[in-house]
Amino acid sequence: MKSESSRERIVRRAALELRDGFYVNLGIGMPTLVANYIPRGMTVILQSENGLLGIGPFPEVGEEDPDLINAGKQTITEIPGAAYFHSADSFAMIRGGHVDLTVLGGMEVDQEGNLANWMVPGKMVKGMGGAMDLVAGARRVVVMMTHVTKEGEPKILQKCRLPLTGARVVQRIISDLAVMDVTPAGLVLAEIAPGVTVEQVRQATEAELKVDPETLKTVMV
Amino acid sequence: MERIPDGATILMGGFGLCGIPENLIAALRDKGTKHLIVASNNAGVDDFGIGILLRSRQVKKMISTYVGENDTFERLCLSGELEVELVPQGTFAERLRAGGSGIPAFYTPTGVGTLVATGKEVREFDRRLYLLEKALRGDFAFVKAWRGDRLGNLVYRKTARNFNPLMAAAADTTIAEVEQLVEPGSLDPDTVITPGIYVDAIFQGTNYEKRIEQRTHRPKGGAGA
C-alpha cells in the first residue's frame, strides 16, 4: 500500500532529526513510531508529558502496568534511569526550553511556520492536549505529515486556514515528498525524496517554495 | 459526599484512566450530586472514570485538555447539555499549581496567536509575547495515590501521579483515596510527594479496577516502542 510506505518513509526520515543526548517529546500517533528508529548506540531520552522521562519499549504480554502509560494512554515501560514527575513539572520542562526536540503531526503548516493540528471547525473538537505547550516551548519543533490530504489537497500552505496550534513555531516540515525549513527568507526546500522532482513538490505545495540547487539534497532513507 | 453540594467545582486527578479516584467517582455517582463543574485532564471513557458521571447527567461543565475518548461526551456536547472549556495541558497544570500556591495569575507563551488567546491580556517580555492566564481552584479535589498515611501524606506510583499532587493543593477540601493506607512513620518522609497539609480526608479504596485504555505490547523478546 502506497500510504503505508509513505508513512514509513516519513517516520524513518524524522528519526534522522534525533541527536545523541537529546531529550525528545514525540507526539501521539505517527510521531510515536519514530522511537522504533532511534539509531543503535545513540542515547535519546523520550519525555512523556503525563510525567515520565525515559520511555521504554511497549511491555510484553502480561507485563502491562496500568500505572505506566504514555500520553496516548498506551501501556509502556520505563528505561533504567527513568524519572517520574507531576504534570506542572512536566510542562515546566517543556515550556522552559529543556526539551531539545518535539516531533508532531500536522493538519496544516504554512510558510511562516504556523501550525494547525487540533481543531476543524464544524467537527467535534477533542482538545489540544499538550500540543500548544510543546510548540511554544520545545527548542526545536518538527512537523511530520503527508504532503497532501487523502483528497490530494495541499497541507503546506501560504497561510493556515484552520485554527492555529501555534504561531510561527515550526522549524522543519518532513513529508513523504520532501524536507522543508521555515527560515526568515521563507520556506526553503532542503531535501527531496528519491525519485521525486522539485516540480512535483511544487505542484503539491501551496506555499511559496524557495529552492537552492546548491544545497538541495536527496533524502537517503 | 454528604458535604458536596449541587453545583460544586471538583478537581479530579488522573490522566486518561491512569491515577483516577475510582472510589470517589463511584460514590459521587451513587449520591447523585448534580450540576457539577469538573476539572480533569480527560473525561474518562463511556463506562468508566468520569464517563459514568456524564452518563448520569451529573456534570454541567468540564474543564479539560483532551476529551476524545468518550462518545457520551461528544453526544452531550453536541446537544448542548454539557459545556466544555478546553485548556492547553501545560496551562491547565500551571493554573492548578498557581491555584494551590497563592498565585492569582501568570504569563505563559502557550496559546499566543491562537483561539486560546481570545479575550486574554497579551504582554511582551524580552521581545516575546505571553498570555495572562488565571489560577484554577476547586471547592473540592478528589485525588488518588498509591500509598498514604493517616496524616494525609501521599506517595504516588509511576505516571499515576500526573495532576493529583497539583489538585490536592488547589481545593478548599481535598479528599484522597489510596491503595494502601498506612500508619504515620511507615512512609519514608523523603519520598512523600503530597505533604499531609494539603489533604483533609483520606481513606483506603476498594475494588480497584485500574482499567487500561490502550493495551499495547511488543512481541515476546522483541524490541521496539
Span A22-45, average pLDDT: 96
pLDDT of the residue at A1:
40
In the block, cell 462518545 appears at B71
pTM over 0.80: yes
What is the distance between the alpha carbons of residues B195 and B202, in angstroms, rounded to a whole number? 12
Mean residue pLDDT of chain A comes to 95
**Could you tell me the pLDDT band of residue A214, with boundaries at 50, 70 and 90?**
confident
Distances (CA, A) of B96 to A51, A67, A185, B17, B165: 16, 22, 41, 20, 10
Is the CB of residue A91 less than 8 Å away from at least one CB of chain B?
A: yes
Give the integer Cα–Cα distance in Å for A156 and A202.
10
- Mutate which of A50, A78, A165 to disrupt the B interface (most B C-beta within 10 Å)? A50
- The answer to whether the Cβ–Cβ distance between A59 and B96 falls below 8 Å is no
Q: What does each of the 225 residues of chain B score in pLDDT, given as a tens digit?
A: 879 999 999 999 999 999 999 999 999 999 999 999 999 999 999 999 999 999 999 999 999 999 988 888 988 988 899 999 999 999 999 999 999 999 999 999 999 999 999 999 999 999 999 999 999 999 999 999 999 999 999 999 999 999 999 999 999 999 999 999 999 999 999 999 999 999 999 999 999 999 999 999 987 655 544
Q: How confident is the model at residue A217 (pLDDT cuts 50, 70, 90)?
A: confident
C-alpha A78: how far from its chain's center?
22
pLDDT score for B178: 98
Inter-chain contact A124–B74, Cβ cutoff 8 Å? Answer: yes
**Residue A129: its chain B contacts at CB < 8 A?**
65-66, 88-89
Q: Closest Cα of chain A to B98: distance in Å? A: 10
Measured between beta carbons, the chain B residues lying within 8 angstroms of A61 are: 217, 220
Q: What is the 3-state secondary structure (H, E, C) of A50-71?
A: CCEEEECCCCCCCCCCCCCECC
Chain B interface includes A137 (CB < 8 A): yes
The count of residues in chain B is 225
Q: What percent of chain A has pLDDT over 90?
A: 91
Residue A132 to residue A152: CA distance in whole angstroms: 27
Dihedral pair phi/psi, residue B92, rounded to 5°:
-60, -50
B27–chain A Cβ distance below 8 A for any pair: no
Residue A54 contacts B where some CB pair is shorter than 8 Å: no
The pLDDT tens digits of the residues spanning A147-157 come to 999 999 999 99
Using a CB-CB cut-off of 8 Å, the residues of chain B touching A165 are: 114
Q: Let me know: does A144 contact A176? Beta carbons within 8 Å.
A: no
The yes-or-no verdict on residue A2 having pLDDT over 70 is no
Q: What is the ipTM of this complex?
A: 0.95
Residues of chain B neighbouring A132 (CB-CB closer than 8 A): 88, 90-91, 110-111, 114, 116
Closest-CA residue of chain A to B160: A67
Question: Given pLDDT bands bounded at 50, 70 and 90, which one contains residue A220?
Answer: low
- pLDDT tens digit sequence for A58-84: 999 999 999 999 999 999 999 999 999
Identify the residue whose cell numbers are 516502542.
Answer: B225
pLDDT at B10: 98
The CA distance from A50 to A70, in Å, is 7
Closest residue to B90, CB basis, from A73, A94, A119: A94
Q: Using DSSP, state whether B217 is helix, strand or coil.
A: coil
The candidate with the shortest Cα–Cα distance to B144, out of B132, B154, B134, is: B154
> Can you give the three-state secondary structure of chain A, one letter per residue?
CHHHHHHHHHHHHHHCCCCCCCEEEECCCHHHHHHHHCCCCCCCEEEECCCEEEECCCCCCCCCCCCCECCCCEECCEEEEEEECCHHHHHHHHHCCCCCEEEEECCEEECCCCEECCCCCCCCCCCCCCHHHHHHHCCCEEEECCCECCCCCECEECCCCCCCCECCCCCEEECCCEEEEEECCEEEEEEECCCCCHHHHHHCCCCCEEECCCCCEECCC
- Inform me whether the pLDDT recorded for A163 exceeds 60: yes
Reply yes or no on whether A49 is catalytic.
Answer: yes
Question: How far, CA to CA in Å, does A4 sit from each of A8, A11, A39, A197, B10?
Answer: 6, 11, 22, 21, 44
pLDDT above 80: residue A90: yes
Residue whose C-alpha is closest to residue B73's, from B51, B58, B56: B51
